[in-house]
Structure 1
Amino acid sequence: MPSPSVVEFEAHRSYLTAVAYRMLGNRAEAEDAVQDAWLRYSQQTGEIRDTRGWLTTVTARICLDQLNSARVRRNAYPGEWLPAFVVEPDADPADRAEMADQVSIALLVVLEKLTPEQRVAFVLHDAFGVPFDEVAAVLDSTPAAARQHASRGRKAVAEGQVRHTAGLAEQRKVLTAFLAAAQDGDMRTLAAVLAPDVVAIGDGGGVVRAALRPVLGAERVARFFIGLVSHRLAGVTDLKVEPVLVNGSAALMLSGAHPDGSRLLVVVAIAVDEGRITGIYNQQNPEKLVLGDFE
């Protein structure tokens, strides 16, 4: 029989993973943070009156430490940074298990632009309703300072988040139209499925060639992807394009082999609002592609 502490901790694991994932933007790092919280919990000898609250504070502190240590690495990261993609086969929600830590790539991208304190305060208070006195304990600050961090984070998210309101069926429809127009080299049709303020971000991690800066605007993004299809994919053999899901949203996975024998693997996730694509996220860094059931 597992000890009561194990049973109680496991009752909170999915919640803690959801908290950590929003803070770190990486599923594996989030799970490691939660496991670290378990080790600290299992070593406690005193009474813990509020297990969920205690574990939330400990997990958040672990994440805050990771965010602070990651700032230097992120500043030196080659090109744009995108969160790690967890790729699943495309299926209706009823046909797959719901993920407690499901959150859009569009939100994770803008969360990355917050300071560690803003991100922790915003996630804890706005996403999970943690009171500011408890947020302050995580940040080692006053409740007033914690409130200010959350307010600044909230404002940055509201101003910077790419609009993503469409349901899965609409996302699939728009993504299919986008792919067909790009493959046909139809500039006008492709631009028509893009919002005027669309942004395209690629992450190659210095390992795979990718745009070093975001591409902005419908015309520039359309031209970029038509060029990508006509030049970068022209010599690829065994090219396979599959509909997939990334964090519950419609996406495409492109795989094949380059003429030099190297592997092509790109996952293109999108954000959609009012029938048009508002954000395109190309994850090409192989270290940030977790293929789940595809592996």
Structure 2
Amino acid sequence: MPDGGERDFLAHRNLLMGVAYRVLGRVADAEDVVQEAWLRWSKAGPVADPEAFLVTVTTRLAVDRLRRVRARREAYVGEWLPDPLLTGPDAAAGVLRTESVSLALLVVLESLSPLERAVFVLRDVFEFPYAEIAAALDRREPAVRQLAARARTHVQERRPRFEVDPVAWRQVTDRFLGACLNGDVAELMGLLAPDVRLIADSGGKAVAPRRPITGPEQVARFVLKIMKLSRSFTDSAGVDPAARIGYRLVTANGGPALQVTADDRPFVHFQLQVADGRVSACHLIVNPDKFAAVTAEDGPALRP
């Protein structure tokens, strides 16, 4: 291990996790990549630039893993969404920049090639110089610039508008939660934009639509149906009938999100995309596999 190796690795771990998660969209995969980077770092000899070495190893591992998992995602049942990632209320001030870790943007990044995605993350999110990115990906700099331009154009064309004001985002989420808990269809519909879409990720392992739902009435009625937590739904989500159910607001992927918990373990995750004070999209995650790395420690339970 390089001198001061553990200290250097820990100093860069958040950066490595930020790169790996944005490239892969899965917490468990990102953690595996960072762990493998640690193993390679611990076996390395003297390293002149620890950050460059660690980012290079992490990026290459993430790109290789993304190429392998893409085939599995093509066979995924229903819509696929990135894993929810609890980021904390001050995420925007640190390495987990709010917009670049949002579910809305990560969904757009899914349509990029692995190399385009890696270049976009390193250049447009973390602002690495083109020369360093070229070295990390073992590509010539002009080729990396072309990849960056292509990825940037693709993202700009497909990036949805959403409310960046965290106060407004939280207020809409609070009202959404209140309407859900009160079963208020009219209030809920009033929060939804005319072209609102709901995308649900169940992986075929919980009761949820396999295609997007559109329109305020259809989305509102489905959300309230989910929030009633019917026995058929909770059974499909693997919830113990005797579990204590709770509702809480957390900060995930750079913004507020609503989680339904069973004995403090989440099994429903709602995150809203807000534009002009109304909900333009709702991302719903109910696949039990996507909560393996998620805890409910970010906020107090709202209802026992």
Under a length normalisation based on structure 2, what TM-score does the superposition of the two structures give? Answer: 0.80
Q: CA deviation at 1:171?
A: 2.2
- Residue 7 (structure 2) aligns with: 7
- Residue 257 (structure 2) aligns with: 251
**Secondary structure of the residue that 1:292 maps to in structure 2?**
coil
**Could you tell me whether the CA contact under 8 Å between 2:163 and 2:277 is conserved in 1?**
no
- Structure 1 range deviating more: 131-140 or 8-17: 131-140
Q: CA deviation at 1:37?
A: 1.4
Spell out, residue by residue over 1:173-203, the C-alpha distance to the aligned partner (whole angstroms, 9 max, x if none): 2123223444555544323212233221111
- Residue 76 (structure 2) aligns with: 77
Pair 1:234–1:52, CA change in 2 (3 A):
closer
In structure 2, stretches of 5+ residues that fail to align are: 235-240, 299-304
- Residue 17 (structure 1) aligns with: 17
2:210 to 209, 212, 237: 212
- Residue 61 (structure 2) aligns with: 62
Under a length normalisation based on structure 1, what TM-score does the superposition of the two structures give? Answer: 0.82
Q: Identical aligned pairs, as a percentage? A: 40
In structure 1, stretches of 5+ residues that fail to align are: 258-262
1:173 to 148, 171, 174: 171
Give the RMSD, CA atoms, in angstroms: 3.1
Where do residues 147-186 of structure 1 align in structure 2 (5 Å cutoff)?
147-182=145-180, 186=184
- Residue 101 (structure 1) aligns with: 96
**Secondary structure of the residue that 1:85 maps to in structure 2?**
coil
Establish whether residue 29 from structure 1 lines up as the match of residue 24 from structure 2.
no
Where do residues 271-290 of structure 1 align in structure 2 (5 Å cutoff)?
271-289=273-291, 290=293
Distance (Å, rounded) in 2 between the aligned partners of 1:154 and 1:219: 35
- Residue 291 (structure 1) aligns with: 294
- Structure 1 range deviating more: 194-203 or 59-68: 194-203
Spell out, residue by residue over 1:62-81, the C-alpha distance to the aligned partner (whole angstroms, 9 max, x if none): 00001100110110111111
Distance (Å, rounded) in 2 between the aligned partners of 1:35 and 1:99: 21
**Could you tell me whether the CA contact under 8 Å between 1:17 and 1:101 is conserved in 2?**
no
Pair 1:176–1:65, CA change in 2 (3 A):
same
Spell out, residue by residue over 1:64-101, the C-alpha distance to the aligned partner (whole angstroms, 9 max, x if none): 0011001101101111111112358xx864xx997633
**Could you tell me whether the CA contact under 8 Å between 2:163 and 2:169 is conserved in 1?**
no
Spell out, residue by residue over 1:182-227, the C-alpha distance to the aligned partner (whole angstroms, 9 max, x if none): 4555544323212233221111112112211122343442343244
Establish whether residue 193 from structure 1 lines up as the match of residue 152 from structure 2.
no
